[in-house]
Structure 1
Amino acid sequence: MSALTAYLDLPLSRDAPAAARRAVTAVLGGWGFRDPDWLDEAAVVVSELVTNAVRHGGGCVALHVEAHDDVVIVSVADGSSVVPRRRDPDGVGGRGIALIEALSAGWIVQNHEGGKRVRVELLPCPGVRNDESGSARGSAS
């Protein structure tokens, strides 16, 4: 089985979530994950992860995307060791973790170079199967 991976260092700015969304949908689409609704959900997860890293993390923000067969994992690392937690929504936020939980198979936090990495396994993409080389491909209907 071969794994597909992509890394992206992001600016610590309010433009980072949009850049991450564009990059992830382009990468995943190029790897054969082409369901538009699934790509939109993946973009929301990435946007929430990056927004949290920019708002609360500090340091460098690094996005990692990996696909092993039809399992896709996105992760965002930042310079803070503070673990994200669910909180009550208010006028400025508090919905990110709930969105990530609703749109994913699960998430974990790992120590990473003095900060943390939040890893999220996305839900399976409809219409994707694996060819013999191990890379994801859209299935013909």
Structure 2
Amino acid sequence: MSTLTAHFDLPLDGAAPGWARSAVTAVLGGWGLRDRAWLDDAAVVISELVTNAVRHGGGEVVVSVEAYGSQVIISVADGSSVVPRPREPDGTGGLGLRIIEKLTDRWYVEPYEGGKRVRAELPLCPGSPVTAEGTSRTEPA
């Protein structure tokens, strides 16, 4: 099973979610994951993760994209150790983690360099060149 990874830093400002969307979808597309609806969902997830890091985190924002065979995980680290929790929408926010829950198989938080990293496991991309067994769909079984 091959492992693909990409990591990049983002400035802690309001433009960061847009930059993250563009970069992550370009990386995933470059890895052969090209289902438009799936990429749109991945873009929403990374945007929500980065928005939370900018609004509630601190320090640098580090984005990682990892593919382990068919499993794709996107994560965002920031300098705050405060663990995000879903909350009721209040007009200023509160929907981000609920959206992430809906579009991912699961999400979780782990410590990261004095802060935290929020990791989101995406469902398998339809038409992915890699199956759940880690073999190419075009190779004989």
Shorter-chain TM-score: what band? Answer: over 0.9
Aligned to 2:115: 115
2-structure distance, mates of 1:14, 1:137: 40
Aligned to 2:77: 77
For the 8 Å contact 1:64–1:75, the answer to whether it is kept is yes
DSSP 3-state at the match of 1:90: coil
**Residue 130 of structure 1: CA displacement?**
2.0
Q: Which TM-score applies when normalising by structure 2?
A: 0.92
Count of residue pairs brought into register by the alignment:
137
For the 8 Å contact 2:60–2:79, the answer to whether it is kept is yes
1-structure distance, mates of 2:100, 2:119: 11
CA distances 1:54-109 after superposition (whole Å, capped 9, x unpaired):
00001000000000111100000000000000000011100000000000000110
Amino acid at match of 2:22: R
Which residues of structure 1 form unaligned runs of 5+? none
Q: Which TM-score applies when normalising by structure 1?
A: 0.92
Aligned to 1:50: 50
Which structure has the highest strand share of the two? 1
For the 8 Å contact 1:4–1:135, the answer to whether it is kept is no
**Residue 129 of structure 1: CA displacement?**
3.3
**Residue 30 of structure 1: CA displacement?**
0.4
Give runs of ≥4 in structure 1 deviating > 3 Å. 134-138
**Residue 137 of structure 1: CA displacement?**
7.6
Aligned to 1:2: 2
**Residue 21 of structure 1: CA displacement?**
0.1
% identical aligned pairs: 65
For the 8 Å contact 2:32–2:129, the answer to whether it is kept is no
Matches within 5 A, 1:55-66: 55-66=55-66
Which residues of structure 2 form unaligned runs of 5+? none
Aligned to 1:89: 89
1-structure distance, mates of 2:82, 2:32: 35
